[in-house]
Chain A
Amino acid sequence: AQSVAQPEDQVNVAEGNPLTVKCTYSVSGNPYLFWYVQYPNRGLQFLLKYITGDNLVKGSYGFEAEFNKSQTSFHLKKPSALVSDSALYFCAVRDTGTYKYIFGTGTRLKVLA
């Protein structure tokens, strides 16, 4: 079965410092991987995706993610965190057989001023 793990419930980082939010996956076949962000009282918003090609994917709001096939990871990164980046972040994988999207449990990012 396909699955996604986000090992950290919360990540704290100082404003201006680099941030990483971790995600590992388990899939059969080639993975379709996504990151979404949820601000309070809002729906999820798409940040970026990996389908194929370059392992470093760039997305919205200065975020990027690195696909690592050998470590089955797709960590979200940003070189310099902003207080406004504080939100709940979800990693997801699309099941290549059923086209269902499977989400991790989410990581709350808190950027401290």
Chain B
Amino acid sequence: DADVTQTPRNRITKTGKRIMLECSQTKGHDRMYWYRQDPGLGLRLIYYSFDVKDINKGEISDGYSVSRQAQAKFSLSLESAIPNQTALYFCATSDHDRGSTGELFFGEGSRLTVL
């Protein structure tokens, strides 16, 4: 089983619909992130969370919200989807305990298409 699991992997929806992308991890990491990937723009940070009670906006949080239900779960919601939110979304985790190496571990991605 993957260490970082995203569901759904693919979703097609219509403008105005509410969408939730879910992420769960078995790595035991405190820190979780949501990124979106667009061609030519790289990865841009939407939200990040350093523990269950700590949630922070990234550079492109408008139109998105998140929930950290537990250490292992971090979901991303689009309350009213619009076409320019069509993208590939990635969840990632990292460990910053003493002695950790600090790199990000990514899920396989959720491809969202908003018609």
Contact = CB atoms under 8 A, between A and B. Distances in A.
Contacts of B44: 103
B103 A34 contact: yes
B42 A106 contact: yes
8 shortest interchain CB distances as A-B pairs = A43-B106, A105-B42, A103-B43, A46-B103, A44-B106, A103-B42, A43-B108, A106-B42
A43 to B, nearest CB: 4
A100 B42 contact: no
**By CB atoms of chain A within 10 A, which of B31, B41, B103 has the most?**
B103
Interface of A: 6, 9, 32, 34, 36, 41-46, 49, 51, 90, 92, 94, 98-106
Interface residues of B, number: 27
B42 A101 contact: no
Interface of B: 4, 31, 33, 35, 40-45, 48, 50, 56, 58, 90, 92, 94, 96, 101-109
B85 to A, nearest CB: 19
Contacts of A34: 103-104
A103 B85 CA distance: 19
